[in-house]
Structure 1
């Protein structure tokens, strides 16, 4: 079993996020040093630190991205093929799953604000949230197969199937085509589409009534929603995704087709 380093303390400087809390609303903005807020190990560590240590008074968590795009997916510079055992990818995959579980199982209501592109892991972070609002320029894409990789990141596939349906998920994964905001709305990748300048107001319109809900009732309702959703998935193979991804990388390293 792979051993992970302990999560960073939240009082340490965050390298890839901007975080602030106003009342019962915790806002997390992806703000990595590279363009597009790519998901690095450092970002996974920061997200885990913030989510694991959020205060008990938090009732809404808002996830957004700085710059022109929400998130352009995993950092290819970190996705090296020089380790025959793909140990680094295995560790990153386990970290990603823990972050994903911290979002999907969060006791607070999670809201994704999506603008620009949400690619690969970026799409995964968005659909891990309970509610999703997108600007009119938002788009989604899963390019993993074109890169020679399975769509196996943190639990994205069962969540995608559960949110949009098996047939639609199959098409998005196998073709890797981009989905614009209006189609994303029709597929339930988004719950609402608004002009870019109104995305904060749309989030506030959701958050304001939620923060007034009785805390115990809110958390029990979140637990029930997650439980009933999980009950529709007879077997969740996402627990094996880190191993599956590492196996593909290792095979590629041994002489398969490089992405």
Structure 2
């Protein structure tokens, strides 16, 4: 699979924050707000849901990537503030959190094999989007960080924490979440946050190397195998409370907002 120009969507198209490109059975979805570091907004979540819900059944591989210097710099804090200004009880944050969970579930449960193509920084919600994919390849300069605690937020977005513990292990996750430190690409591979690390100019070739055999697999067998892998992975998580993520985030943020207003 060679890197081709992504299609330009017509003015007024629903997918305002994304660019997509279809090459046979391979669909590339690119987060496309590079001036904002591809931060996750409600508009981006809406666009991702639209793409994933309208996905052609003939798509066998879905590649998630980001434009510009970074994969995704996490949630849009300005939008959080606007939600709180509109509804101090956190109603808007609950709605946004529910969208986030639906997007991550749509990636994980996608009938196609999903591949995260990570370069530059993946922060917070960006880590969750990458982790929701089946396969993850990163450039040597890729880094991961979960700074939520330093921002006064719980690590409760899109079911990130249970997936992270399942993939990486509780002890390592505890240290990464509590310190909020940067994880390099090499360490991310050792922790299974990434399954492969390559020089930046080899990212497309690495994606193609995974996609090539997948598109040749019988579709029914592929779908069933993915469903089995997801079911067994979910079964290994004794309690997945990610359905509570929107409530937890809203409760913490609205309480902090109230406390600041009371002082």
The DSSP-based 3-state class of the residue aligned with 1:77 is helix
Which stretch of structure 1 is more off in the superposition, 51-60 or 25-34? Answer: 25-34
How far apart, CA to CA, are the structure 2 residues paired with 1:31 and 1:20? 12
Q: Aligned residue for 2:141?
A: 137
Deviation at 1:256, TM superposition (A): 5.2
Q: Aligned residue for 1:187?
A: 191
Deviation at 1:184, TM superposition (A): 0.5
Q: Aligned residue for 2:39?
A: 38
After superposition, the Cα gap between the structure-2 partners of 1:257 and 1:221, relative to the gap in structure 1 and judged at 3 Å, is: farther
Q: Aligned residue for 1:93?
A: 97
- Quick check: which one's helix share is greater? 2
The DSSP-based 3-state class of the residue aligned with 1:167 is helix
Q: Write the mapping of 1:125-164 to structure 2, written as runs, cut at 5 A.
A: 125-164=129-168
1:222 aligns with 2:226: yes
The DSSP-based 3-state class of the residue aligned with 2:115 is strand
The DSSP-based 3-state class of the residue aligned with 1:151 is coil
The DSSP-based 3-state class of the residue aligned with 2:77 is coil
TM-score by length of 1: 0.93
Q: Aligned residue for 2:22?
A: 21
How far apart, CA to CA, are the structure 1 residues paired with 2:110 and 2:224? 11
The DSSP-based 3-state class of the residue aligned with 2:65 is strand
Misfit runs of 4+, over 6 Å:
none
Deviation at 1:254, TM superposition (A): 1.4
Q: Aligned residue for 1:7?
A: none
Q: Pairwise CA RMSD of aligned residues? A: 1.4
How far apart, CA to CA, are the structure 1 residues paired with 2:260 and 2:254? 9
Contact 1:148 1:257 (8 Å CA) reproduced: no
Q: Aligned residue for 1:5?
A: none
Q: Write the mapping of 1:1-259 to structure 2, written as runs, cut at 5 A.
A: 12-32=13-33, 34-80=35-81, 81-82=84-85, 83-255=87-259
How far apart, CA to CA, are the structure 2 residues paired with 1:94 and 1:190? 26
Q: Aligned residue for 1:6?
A: none
Q: Aligned residue for 2:9?
A: none
After superposition, the Cα gap between the structure-2 partners of 1:147 and 1:207, relative to the gap in structure 1 and judged at 3 Å, is: same
How far apart, CA to CA, are the structure 2 residues paired with 1:33 and 1:91? 25
Which stretch of structure 1 is more off in the superposition, 26-35 or 139-148? Answer: 26-35
Deviation at 1:249, TM superposition (A): 1.3
- Unaligned ranges ≥5, structure 2: 1-11
Q: Aligned residue for 2:5?
A: none
After superposition, the Cα gap between the structure-2 partners of 1:144 and 1:257, relative to the gap in structure 1 and judged at 3 Å, is: farther
The count of aligned residue pairs is 248
Deviation at 1:115, TM superposition (A): 0.3
How far apart, CA to CA, are the structure 2 residues paired with 1:173 and 1:183? 15
